A and B are shown apart, each in its own frame.
Chain A
Amino acid sequence: MEKINDYLRIRIEDLGNNPTTRVAICLCLDVSGSMASVEGGDFVFTGRKIVIDGKEAEIVTGGRSRLDELQDGIRLFYESIMNDKFSRSAAEICVVTFDDEAKCLVDFANVYRQEVPVLKVGGITSMGEGVNLALDLLEQRKSEFKAKGVSYHQPWLVLMTDGEPNGNETVLRQAMARTNQMINDKKLTLFPIGIGKDANLATLAKFTPKGNAIKLRGINFKDMFEWLSASVEQISQSTMGERANINPKAINNWGEKYSLKTGKTEPWPDELP
């Protein structure tokens, strides 16, 4: 390389120290009693029954529950983000759970500052409370970003439930109104995902203006979180002024589209929810 005149030399230490642009992802997870449902593995019926989350269920020993699979999916998600050089600095994850109440298990931070949260099964399904808490935490984090001059991408909210919301009805409607408004204002991307045959997809679809929800294929959390982490990596790598190269059609690998309009499921199109 030709010798560069010292006056024209730009050294790394000359450059500005702009913080990495952030990608805020909130996982808003149903941990109501029904998430203890065993879906796979080796299990044995005990002959006893129990009422969980308003429904009667048979008690088994052994096997793997929906919550076990979800926990593994989250662990994979964290590992994937940690191992990608762009996402590691850019992605900030928050985990909110809802059962009898809504709780923030981990607040927004880079994954290398967090432990993988451990999910515990609880009682009913306070979905509205969970979504409101998730939105409050997102707004708070954005305010913190603004105050510190940190730039950020449009945040994502991943809402996962296997049942029917049975928390406060008014709070639920308020949460739906908030997400619809934010999506219409292009302030939020929301993935409302239903798990299992008892998930009320129609209710989930009401969280979005398009009236769409995603029905998870089986309990395929692994593929879902793989897609999510790949998408986060794309956003983290995208340069300013450009949209990230995300592949919405790949949602079909782990889910299908539920339409409130038709009441049916169909393949997911080439667009985000």
Chain B
Amino acid sequence: MWKAAQLAVQGEGHCTSGTPCQDKTYVLKSEDAIVVALADGAGSAKHSEIGAECVTQTVCRLLMENFDRYFETEYAASVATELLTKLQEELSLVASNGGYEFRDMASTLLAVAVKDERFMTMHIGDGVIGGLKGDRLLVMSLPDNGEFINVTTFVTSPDAISHLRLDKGELEDISAFILMSDGTAEGMYQRGTQSLIPAFERLIHATKIMPIVEVEEQLRENMRDTLCKVTMDDCSLILLVDGVESVLETVSSD
């Protein structure tokens, strides 16, 4: 059965400046489906952590409620337009209620939905969506940075619709999905070869067989110690895996 480990760690840069962690993650499960989402709030946007929280929860709800209809729609453009319109409407509502500007809610957005033997992915902005197909790690959606690394597209951007990427398919032998923000990608994604670090194979294996709470605790601690050596940015990660519900064995270093 599918399950997900999610974590978001505040970067050293935001620790120093007192800015809250602007990366948010969300997981929504039902009897026959699971949807996960990750968003990275724009550093220059005053309330981007609120925007990131809003879009992750909203997109999970939308994909959960409309999975079959979206999957069966022939034209991706109509699904993209509907998703983006509803996300922006929700952001506008939250902004209005809070007395914020719409642009201050800017964030990227990555999402994966799995139902029965089918999946859908959605991606606006940087960060990476990857997967494990058979025994091969692959990148399913690349970061969208344009020419300059410090420029990306957000859910609130005027041209977001032309940068929204959707994908769908049959699972076949895909047994895991990986979603990461650009902070995490700085250490766990090779830009030159557009590939994921091999360590993901054992992270996915551990997530499949261990209790999620334990995976999240240990990964969070480790990422804080290791990734902070290569980036000052907030780091977030979701491992969505087809695993076992309870622990069958614990792999230890003893």
Contacts and interface: CB of A to CB of B under 8 A. Distances in A.
A-side binding surface: helix, strand, loop or mixed?
Answer: loop
Nearest to A235: B150
Nearest to A14: B199
A149 B251 contact: no
A151 B214 CA distance: 36
B141 to A, nearest CB: 15
A9 interface: yes
B132 to A, nearest CB: 14
A4 B221 contact: yes
A2 interface: yes
A2 B221 contact: yes
B145 A240 contact: yes
Contacts of B66: none
Interface in B188-239: 188-193, 197-199, 202-203, 205-206, 210, 214-215, 217-219, 221-223, 225-227, 229-233
Interface string A239-265: 111111000000000000000000000
Nearest to B108: A241
B230 A15 contact: yes
Contact of A241 (B40, B187, B199, B252): B40
Contact of B13 (A4, A187, A237): A237
B206 A18 contact: no
A21 interface: yes
Interface residues of B, number: 54
A237 B230 CA distance: 12
Interface residues of A, number: 35
A242 B14 CA distance: 13
Contacts of A243: 43-44, 150
Interface in A1-57: 1-12, 14-19, 21
Interface of A: 1-12, 14-19, 21, 148-149, 151-154, 187, 235, 237-244
Given A2-B221, A6-B252, A14-B197, A240 B192 contact: no
A5 B218 contact: yes
A6 B42 contact: no
Contacts, number: 133
Contacts of A151: 145, 149, 191
Given A8-B218, A242-B42, A15 B152 contact: no
B148 A237 contact: no
B131 interface: no
Nearest to A243: B44
Contacts of B90: none
Nearest to B189: A16
A132 to B, nearest CB: 21
B221 A18 contact: no
B253 interface: yes
B42 A8 contact: no
A5 B223 contact: no
B252 A10 contact: no
A259 to B, nearest CB: 27
Contact of A154 (B126, B148, B202): B148
Contacts of A238: 43, 150
B148 A11 contact: no
A10 B227 contact: yes
B51 interface: no
B243 interface: no
A10 B150 contact: no
Contacts of A21: 149-150
Given A14-B197, A237-B13, A241-B145, A8 B190 contact: no
B205 A240 contact: no
The 6 A-B pairs with the shortest beta carbon distances in the complex, nearest first, are A149-B192, A242-B43, A239-B233, A7-B206, A151-B149, A15-B187
A81 to B, nearest CB: 19
